[in-house]
Amino acid sequence: VGSRTMEVALPEDLKRSASLAKRRHAELCRQERVFNARNRIIGGDTEAWNLQVHDQKIKEATEKARHETFAAEMRHNDKIMVMLEDRERKDKKNLCRAINDFRQNFQKPETRREFDLSDPLALKKDIPARQSDNDIRNTVSGMQKFMGEDLNFYERKKFQEEQNREWSFQQQREWRNARAVQKCAEDLYAETRLQFDETARHLQKLESATKKAVCAAVKEFNKNQAMESAERKNQEKKQEQEDNLAEISSLLHGDLLSENPQQAASSFGPHRVVPDRWKGMTQEQLEQIRLVQKQQVQEKLRLQEEEYQRDMDWDRRRIQGARATLLFERQQQRQQRDLRRALDSSNLSLAREQCLQKKYMNEVCTNQPTGDFFTQFNTTSR
């Protein structure tokens, strides 16, 4: 049996792996910061940008919810209008159907007074033109009976009048019934419309009352703020006036305007004064200052004369030093010119040697570095 070594993960290995993973993660984060030229050069407040984006999203969501609410309300109103239109169309359809049924059942062609003039079976139903002298079908055109010879004229006329009256009453009743049915349908439709209008008016009143309450609250708040601001300004103005009066009174009765010389005396000694209370020097002090000034002028003239003599001495020494420096610089230039010539000759010989060395290396070394050799650099943040 062949022996096989088993790999056991020790705590040191786990710790080393965790440390290596942590360093790799830190290196990736550093590369992201270093190689991102925009954030490294320009920079920016990402937290503020994220907050602005969050606020914009909240605003867009609120506006979207508002539009969706309006859209839902519009869809609800559209559904109500569609229902009302369907109901009105059905009512009209039922009314037309009732009118057609009434015409088919109670207004048939054979019930008309003039049906005998357009009856298609008139010839089949017709009887001979004259059966007797009292035949009521004898017309003027048939010349079977003349005016005044009809014995049943009055009874027939009375019967026709009664029949016309009955037809008129029947039409009036049918018209009143149809009118009542139509009025009932119109009343039902108007009542439904009034209910919807009342609901819409109630919702509109609630919205208007809410807006009025909000406006009244805002107006009352603004009014209170304005009153508080005005009261605060009045108090500040009153306090400022009182302070100004107190300051004016203090200045009028104080030592500042009275020019009391004792008020400028300092508590640190007789040679000290208070600057904001001092009113000027006395004549003795002014004479002492003038005397000191004269002494200072004489001392200054003496010092200027000494400085003039010292400057003349320094100018003479500087001219001598400049001459010596010019001679030394000329000597240095001659030496540098000789050194430059020697250095140029040495560089020329070195250039020839390097050219020969490069030509030899190009012939010996054939493995020249390519672009991939240089791209492996600057790949980490270190």
> In the predicted model, what is the mean pLDDT of the chain?
82
| Burial bucket for residue 80 (CB in 10 Å: 0-12, 13-18, 19+) | middle
pLDDT at site 152? 64
Is 287 inside any structural domain? Answer: no
Nearest CA among 305, 306, 303 for reference residue 295: 303
pLDDT band, residue 266 (cuts 50/70/90): low
> What is the per-residue pLDDT across 349-377, written as a single tens digit (0 to 9) for each?
999 999 988 888 777 776 767 777 777 77
pLDDT at site 358? 84
Counts for the chain of helices (H) and strands (E), in that order: 8, 0
DSSP codes joined into one string, 82-142:
HHHHHHHHHHHHHHHHHHHHHHHHHS-GGGSGGGGGS-TTHHHH---S-SSTT-TT--TTT
Task: Using the predicted structure, report yes or no on whether residue 6 has a pLDDT greater than 50.
Answer: no
Task: Using the predicted structure, report yes or no on whether residue 308 has a pLDDT greater than 90.
Answer: yes
Task: Using the predicted structure, report yes or no on whether residue 2 has a pLDDT greater than 70.
Answer: no
Is 356 inside any structural domain? Answer: yes
Q: Rank 38-42, 157-161, 312-316 by mean pLDDT and report only the highest.
A: 312-316
User: Which two structure tokens, joined as six digits, stand for 48?
Assistant: 């503020």
Write the CB contacts of 143 (distance below 8 Å, at least 6 apart in sequence): none
Question: What 3-state class would DSSP assign to 273?
Answer: strand
pTM across the whole model: 0.23
pLDDT band, residue 267 (cuts 50/70/90): low
First and final C-alpha spacing in the chain:
51
Task: Using the predicted structure, report yes or no on whether residue 269 has a pLDDT greater than 70.
Answer: no
Whole-angstrom Cα distance, residue 272 to residue 297?
Answer: 26
Is 354 inside any structural domain? Answer: yes
Asked if 131 contacts 145 with a C-beta cutoff of 8 angstroms, the reply is no
Report how many domains make up the chain.
2
Question: What percent of the chain is modeled with pLDDT above 90?
Answer: 33
Return the number of other C-beta atoms located less than 10 Å from residue 137's C-beta.
13
Q: Please state the φ and ψ torsions of residue 267, each to the nearest 5 degrees.
A: -80, -5
User: Which two structure tokens, joined as six digits, stand for 30?
Assistant: 């550093």
Q: Domain residues for 325?
A: 318-361
Average pLDDT over residues 301-309: 92
CA angle 323, 327, 330 (to 5 degrees): 140
Asked if 77 contacts 199 with a C-beta cutoff of 8 angstroms, the reply is no
DSSP codes joined into one string, 155-215:
HHHHHHHHHHHHHHHHHHHHHHHHHHHHHHHHHHHHHHHHHHHHHHHHHHHHHHHHHHHHH
pLDDT band, residue 5 (cuts 50/70/90): very low
Is 226 inside any structural domain? Answer: yes
Look up residue 5 and give its DSSP letter. Answer: P
Residue that finishes a domain, picked among 186, 210, 239: 239
Crossing angle for the helix pair 153-253 and 46-106, nearest 10 degrees?
160
pLDDT band, residue 128 (cuts 50/70/90): low
Dihedral, CA of residue 134, residue 139, residue 141 and residue 143, to nearest 10: 10
Task: Using the predicted structure, report yes or no on whether residue 144 has a pLDDT greater than 80.
Answer: no
Is 336 inside any structural domain? Answer: yes
Is 222 inside any structural domain? Answer: yes
> What is the per-residue pLDDT across 336-354, written as a single tens digit (0 to 9) for each?
999 999 999 999 999 999 9
Average pLDDT over residues 6-20: 77
**Higher local confidence (pLDDT), 127 or 208:** 208
Average pLDDT over residues 260-268: 66
User: Which two structure tokens, joined as six digits, stand for 313?
Assistant: 């001495």
Residue that finishes a domain, picked among 239, 257, 280: 239
Asked if 35 contacts 381 with a C-beta cutoff of 8 angstroms, the reply is yes
pLDDT at site 109? 79
Residue that finishes a domain, picked among 187, 214, 239: 239
Task: Using the predicted structure, report yes or no on whether residue 60 has a pLDDT greater than 90.
Answer: yes
pLDDT at site 3? 40
- Minimum mean pLDDT among 30-44, 167-181, 324-338: which range? 30-44
Average pLDDT over residues 164-193: 91
Whole-angstrom Cα distance, residue 279 to residue 260?
Answer: 8
pLDDT at site 132? 63
**Higher local confidence (pLDDT), 255 or 379:** 379
